């Protein structure tokens, strides 16, 4: 295996693993704090039980996420020293702020976990809110650094060196807002639907269980709102990509030829050699409108870029279609939940509905993975867009595939341990939480 491919596969594996924990770390503390707030307002036992149960999950995923995040920070320097040599001084600030948010999150989580019955109730709740805020900010800071790779700014590139560095301009680059908004909503959609799906699966065994019934409705409330906002965020991101990275937009839409107006291509299998898309549905003028807000606008195709500077169209297009398809499915589920909760609450307790929600459990995270593939693979061959190619940043050290094999083994072990711990936690729910033993008709 070539060292460049091994390095890219290892980064892809590490990011794909860590991003799950990042999403959970951004969302679960918010659900946890919201449940405690509901308990403080209503004094209902199930809200207190959920806050405590979810806090144990937060602690577990926080610990594993800290390990994978630390691995990532080392990998950037070890696998791509050429990137860090130039980029470290430019985008160090969001990384340092991410570290600060991480430590605040860790301290606040410790206070929350060990502060039950020791702190004033509202002070304890505030510590949970702080965990949620710092978790979201931590994710946004990392996304800001990634956005800089897609939209480098805050420096001038002179003779292969970065000059006139402005770290604030680099951090708040042109892509950070659209990416941060899209990623934050994606985290809430994926995690909220996963939480709802797990509790829905358990609720199927006892339809009257108060603990799981409350958990499903609370998680779906967050997931539904986020899922319905996500298409708007996606439209914002698409217009931003069309302006800054037209090659990426052309790849994710399999738009080979520059055209005016341009059709939107749904599905299909792109053939990069013949520059065709087979078995696709074409919607006339729709891509022009989605990319530029004008049904007759010109959309740049891949024919405007040298073949050596085009992203891998097949991977990017399929990942994008997969992400969008799941996004609309979850938005539909969210809309149905809001309608049922408004007018037809009896449907929320039906086995068919709960089975549907349980089946959605992994889809949000699969969409996140697909979206990350679109973002990263769609930028290739550049590691810093239009400044540095990935092949020029990789380590010259031979034998990088051994590092890849080690990381695969470590992540498999972590996944096994996490699944085992989660299974143990779910199995002890009725033992620790009174409302999990209560049922209503």
Closest CA to 349 of 174, 225, 206: 206
d(CA 8, CA 268): 27
Question: Where are the strands (E) in 97-240, listed by range?
Answer: 156-158, 161-163
pLDDT tens-place values along the chain, 441 residues long: 788 899 999 999 898 888 998 899 899 999 999 999 999 999 999 999 999 999 998 998 888 888 888 888 888 888 998 888 888 889 888 889 988 999 999 999 999 999 998 999 999 999 999 999 999 999 999 999 999 999 999 999 888 888 899 999 999 999 999 999 999 999 999 999 999 999 999 999 888 899 999 999 999 999 999 999 999 999 999 999 999 999 999 999 999 999 999 999 999 999 998 999 999 999 999 999 999 999 999 999 999 999 999 999 999 999 999 999 999 999 999 999 999 999 888 899 899 999 999 999 999 999 999 999 999 999 999 999 999 999 999 988 888 888 889 989 988 888 888 889 888 888 888 888 888 887 776
* Residue 441: predicted pLDDT: 63
Q: Per-residue DSSP letters for 289-353? A: HHHHS-TT--B--GGGS-GGGS--HHHHHHHHHHHHHHHHHHHHHHHHHHHHHHH-GGGGG-HHH
Closest CA to 6 of 84, 86, 78: 78
- How many helical (H) and strand (E) elements, i.e. helices and strands, does the chain have? 15, 8
pTM value is 0.93
- Torsion, CA 192, CA 195, CA 196, CA 202, rounded to 10: 180
* Residue 106: predicted pLDDT: 92
């Amino acid at each position: 295996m070539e060292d460049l491919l091994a390095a890219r596969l290892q980064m892809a594996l590490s990011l794909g693993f860590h991003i799950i924990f990042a999403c959970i770390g951004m969302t679960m503390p918010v659900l946890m704090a919201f449940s405690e707030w509901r308990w403080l307002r209503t004094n209902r036992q199930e809200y207190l039980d959920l806050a405590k149960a979810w806090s144990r999950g937060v602690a577990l995923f926080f610990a594993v996420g800290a390990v994978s995040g630390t691995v990532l920070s080392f990998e950037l320097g070890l696998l791509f020293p050429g990137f860090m040599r130039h980029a470290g001084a430019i985008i160090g600030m969001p990384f340092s702020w991410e570290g600060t948010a991480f430590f605040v999150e860790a301290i606040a989580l410790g206070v929350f976990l060990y502060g039950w019955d020791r702190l004033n109730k509202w002070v304890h709740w505030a510590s949970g809110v702080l965990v949620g805020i710092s978790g979201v900010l931590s994710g946004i800071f990392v996304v800001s650094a990634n956005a800089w790779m897609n939209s480098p700014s805050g420096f001038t590139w002179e003779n292969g060196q970065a000059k006139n560095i402005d770290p604030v301009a680099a951090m708040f680059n042109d892509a950070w807002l659209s990416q941060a908004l899209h990623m934050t909503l994606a985290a809430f959609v994926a995690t909220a639907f996963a939480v709802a799906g797990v509790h829905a699966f358990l609720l199927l065994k006892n339809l009257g269980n108060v603990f799981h019934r409350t958990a499903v409705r609370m998680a779906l409330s967050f997931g539904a709102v986020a899922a319905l906002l996500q298409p708007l965020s996606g439209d914002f991101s698409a217009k931003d990509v069309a302006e800054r990275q037209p090659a990426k937009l052309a790849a994710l839409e399999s738009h080979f030829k520059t055209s005016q107006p341009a059709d939107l291509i749904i599905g299909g299998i792109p053939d990069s050699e013949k520059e065709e898309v087979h078995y696709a549905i074409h919607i006339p003028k729709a891509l022009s409108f989605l990319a530029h807000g004008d049904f007759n606008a010109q959309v740049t195709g891949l024919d405007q870029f040298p073949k050596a500077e085009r992203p891998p169209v097949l991977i990017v297009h399929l990942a994008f279609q997969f992400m969008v398809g799941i996004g609309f499915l979850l938005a539909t589920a969210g809309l149905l939940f809001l309608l049922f909760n408004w007018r037809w609450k009896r449907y929320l307790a039906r086995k068919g509905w709960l089975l549907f929600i349980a089946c959605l459990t992994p889809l949000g995270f699969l969409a996140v993975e697909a979206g990350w593939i679109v973002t990263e693979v769609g930028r290739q061959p550049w590691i810093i867009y239009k400044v540095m190619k990935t092949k020029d940043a990789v380590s010259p050290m031979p034998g990088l595939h051994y590092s890849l094999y080690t990381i695969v083994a470590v992540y498999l072990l972590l996944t096994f341990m996490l699944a085992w711990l989660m299974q143990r936690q779910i199995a002890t729910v009725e033992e620790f939480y009174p409302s999990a033993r209560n049922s209503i008709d």
